[in-house]
Amino acid sequence: MCLAIPARVESVNGSMAKVDFGGTVQEVNISLVDAEPGDYVVVHAGFAIQVMDEKDALETLDLWRELLEHESVSIT
């Protein structure tokens, strides 16, 4: 299964950006999108693959939080 998660762009340095996944900040490659600080991007496997609307991004992050609070993830 593949997951793509929204994140807010905090800063950009060339093709790399620091993004915030709702409390966790990581560097991702943004060479596939035209993103700047304040934008929300969809991140998959270390690459921003799409710029997304802030409202949709925040709703998705809320759903992730809710899921993680109420479900345990197990790999079998």
Q: pLDDT tens for residues 41-58?
A: 999 999 999 999 999 998
Closest CA to 31 of 52, 46, 53, 10: 46
pLDDT at 68: 78
| Sign of torsion over alpha carbons 50, 56, 28, 11 | positive
pLDDT at 65: 82
pLDDT at 74: 52
- Beta strand pairing call for 40-44 and 25-29: unpaired
Span 5-70: which CATH code?
A: 2.30.30.140
pTM for the whole structure: 0.82
pLDDT at 19: 98
- Which residue ranges in the chain fall short of pLDDT 70? 1, 71-76
